[in-house]
Amino acid sequence: MQALSLSPPLLTSPPRSLRRKSSNTFRAPRMDRHARISSQFAPLLHRDLALELASLMESRLGSDLLPSSVPDNVRSFQNQSGTSFGSLDIRYGAPGSSVDFLLESWLHCKVPTGAIDITTLLVYQNDSTDAPHFNLEFIQAGPTSLVLLLDLIPRRDLSFCPDYIDTFYQGTNVDKPRQDLEKLPQVVPYRSPSLYIRSIWSPTAILVSINCGEGGATKMEEIIKGTVASAAKEVLGIWLERCFGTGTGTEMGEEEREYMIRRDRVVKSKSIEIDLSANLPRLFDPDLANRVIAEIQKACASHTWCVMSSAQLDTRLLFHITLAATRRKYY
Amino acid sequence: MQALSLSPPLLTSPPRSLRRKSSNTFRAPRMDRHARISSQFPPLLHRDLALELASLMESRLGSDLLPSSVPDNVRSFQNQSGTSFGSLDIRYGAPGSSVDFLLESWLHCKVPTGAIDITTLLVYQNDSTDAPHFNLEFIQAGPTSLVLLLDLIPRRDLSFCPDYIDTFYQDTNVDKPRQDLEKLPQVVPYRSPSLYIRSIWSPTAILVSINCGEGGATKMEEIIKGTVASAAKEVLGIWLERCFGTGTGTEMGEEEREYMIRRDRVVKSKSIEIDLSANLPRLFDPDVANRVIAEICTKSTFQLGPSLGQLGPSRKF
């Protein structure tokens, strides 16, 4: 893996919002994120790892990304009592880039049993390539319990396209980090309660729940700094090298490209709808959640895609709230 | 589940092969299978369960199936020393049926560590419907170790068709038997070494390895007769009721149907190529294996790759 390098500072014009918490037209992105997140959130091992990966991602994507245009009150939000807070940032791909957007989400939520921290790093690619998207998610409920979802999300119907599997999953040996992780006795598979979410993963997806039991905080630290960090860096490295950038996509006919565009649309709206949008209203005040969700919908709605009605959202929320109440799962 | 009923005896014309071990133009299918398998193979719990399920399947599919036309030396084969033997039967769907074929495969193979028994029950549906295929497979290596693969195999690109997931997987509650099975402490997930095979399963597929450890034969018996049998009957029941027969498919446009036909072709050839064709030559003599594979290949519904000599990675048990 490359050593982390500071991207040159970006000169940014003032964001659209008139009410800005800090007036700052000169930003060094890496320091900005690291400082911002570290000051807002309590220290947490998985967050440190995610910060490292997010920086690496951003520095490698570099000029492929436009500056962030997310309003400050989405970049940093909290509930009324200040016990739960979050940060969401979305950077869109520059013209000519294969990147659709890079999404980072940092959430810390106080719950009756303690706290939940959910960290998401997501890169969706656009229709100039059929190479996989990148998805990383940590869900931590306490110092000894961590769910990790790490995958190169396929863009094509794998059963119909065995060559796609060979190119991106077999030929890259991306199954190895998953095998390493699943050997650990503290690791069991994690299954989303949503059948749709289960269907989007690749055959090599890392979908695990790591439990170190009471008094196992040291063990958890060891695992995060060790096997989890290796796996995450290995998968990110494979994505950066074999899935991102010009020439990494496979040859596609016009019909195949059309199909992929339609397919991406469904995957994006449904999975982000179920995933991120289901959590926020559960854990934050409705108007705050709506504000953040609106920003997410913008990312999904680029190129005139479907936008969820609030009625649709409510039904899903009810479903997930009920699910969470009975099964303590966070999706 | 329905009580098992005997299908009326089928009148069959003599099979193509001139060298027949038993000349029998009058067959009561259920007794034929049960008697045939029980006489050929050593007793094994999972086989008893599979016999029960195969009978149930055949009696429910009834007149949707044509009689078997598999030659006797494929219906029953063995290696040179007689230590490994198998039976393969394929029955094609009758005209107007949604069934493409029903495949049953029974294998018993002596290996250095003891023996492996592989039992497969597979129903593929044709292009008159997009309802899932049915797949059941037992792989047993010893009395305390069993792999179970049980699934309603999707016919469509699930990420693109969330409604298909709702119709066949969400509304049918077919995830429940999987949850029941995975609660058992002896159960861990099984992953195929083939990434392609991993990609064909549904989100509710039962893909498990059951290990009862040394001295755990009684426990294994309990699990097979209990949770495994329930799960298998539940999934088969859901398939028979919600996936088989007229009216169970969803509405499809012409383009969608065309896509499904092409997709089915790839799934069928690749998965049967990797799955069955990878095992046989490893466990039997080449000429026996080739004969059996040829039976699967020669029918027009299968189009295996040109290089049968190129076998998929060997399955690790």
Residues 267-286 of B with CB under 8 A from A: 267, 270
For residue B190, the chain A residue with the least C-alpha distance is: A189
Boundaries of every domain in chain A: 9-252
Residues 223-262 of A with CB under 8 A from B: 259, 262
Examine the pLDDT at B46 and tell me if it is beyond 90: yes
Chain A interface includes B196 (CB < 8 A): yes
> Could you give the ipTM of this predicted complex?
0.83
Q: Taking CB atoms and an 8 Å limit, are A266 and B198 in contact across chains?
A: no
Mean pLDDT of A36-53: 90
* Percentage of chain B exceeding pLDDT 70: 83
**pTM of the predicted model, to two decimals?**
0.82
Which pLDDT score is estimated for A326? 31
CB B54 within 8 A of CB B63: no
Long-range contacts (CB closer than 8 Å, 24 or more residues apart) made by B68-76: B68/B12, B69/B15, B69/B16, B70/B15, B70/B295, B71/B15, B71/B16, B71/B17, B71/B295, B72/B15, B72/B17, B72/B19, B72/B20, B72/B21, B72/B22, B73/B17, B73/B19, B73/B291, B74/B291, B74/B292, B74/B295, B76/B21, B76/B36, B76/B40
Question: What residues of chain A lie within 8 A of the CB of B158, using their CB?
Answer: 196, 199
Cα dihedral A281, A283, A287, A289 sign: negative
Which pLDDT score is estimated for A94? 95
Give the separation between CA A272 and CA A296, rounded to whole angstroms. 8
Average pLDDT, chain B: 83
For residue B176, the chain A residue with the least C-alpha distance is: A193
User: Closest partner residue to B263 among A157, A189, A196, by Cβ?
Assistant: A157
CA distance A195 to chain B (A): 6
User: pLDDT by residue (tens digit) across B70-127?
Assistant: 888 888 888 888 888 899 999 999 999 999 999 999 999 988 888 999 999 999 999 9
Question: What residues of chain A lie within 8 A of the CB of B207, using their CB?
Answer: none
Mean pLDDT of B270-276: 80
Examine the pLDDT at A24 and tell me if it is beyond 70: no
Which pLDDT score is estimated for A302? 55
Which pLDDT score is estimated for B298? 60
Residue A225 is given by DSSP the state I
CATH of A9-252, one of 3.40.50.970, 3.40.1500.20, 3.40.190.10, 3.60.15.10: 3.40.1500.20
Mean pLDDT of B149-162: 97
Which pLDDT score is estimated for A259? 95
B10 CB-near residues (< 8 Å, 6+ apart): B27, B29, B67
Examine the pLDDT at B269 and tell me if it is beyond 90: no
Which pLDDT score is estimated for B303? 43
CA dihedral of A35, A40, A41, A46, whole degrees rounded to 10: -30
Which pLDDT score is estimated for B299? 57
Examine the pLDDT at B147 and tell me if it is beyond 70: yes
Tell me how far CA of residue A181 lies from CA of A152, B126, B169, B175, B192, in angstroms.
16, 40, 29, 26, 17
Q: Which residue has the higher pLDDT, B155 or A9?
A: B155
pLDDT tier for residue A232 given thresholds of 50, 70 and 90: very high
